[in-house]
Amino acid sequence: MCQVAINIPNEVLFDTKMSQEEARQFAKCAVALGYYTQSGVSIGYCAQIADMSEEEFIKYLGKNHVSIFHYDNQQEFLEELNNA
């Protein structure tokens, strides 16, 4: 497992009214979201990065308007919908 440290100015914590723990969790979620949306890392690994269950991470994605469904075109989506 790789560990990464970032420095967040105390003024940011003050302005956002976040505790150090809330800022740590926010950063972990932001990194996981970035890996999922920009690099195609799996939900399972991103959930681990965010320190969440897969279900919690999927809900987090939804809150951030990120779909877990990826279709190349409308026809593929309609075929999948008909098979549901």
Domains of the chain, by residue range, sit at 10-83
For the entire predicted model, the pTM comes to 0.81
pLDDT of res. 47? 98
Cβ proximity of 52 and 31 under 8 Å? no
| Cα–Cα dist 21/29, whole Å | 12
DSSP state of 62: H
pLDDT per position as a tens digit, 46-74: 999 999 999 999 999 999 999 888 777 78
**For residue 77, what pLDDT band results from cuts at 50, 70 and 90?**
confident
User: What confidence score (pLDDT) does residue 10 get?
Assistant: 96
- Tell me if 35 sits within 8 A of 46, measured CB to CB: yes
Mean pLDDT (the chain) is 92
Nearest to 36 by CA among 50, 26, 17: 50
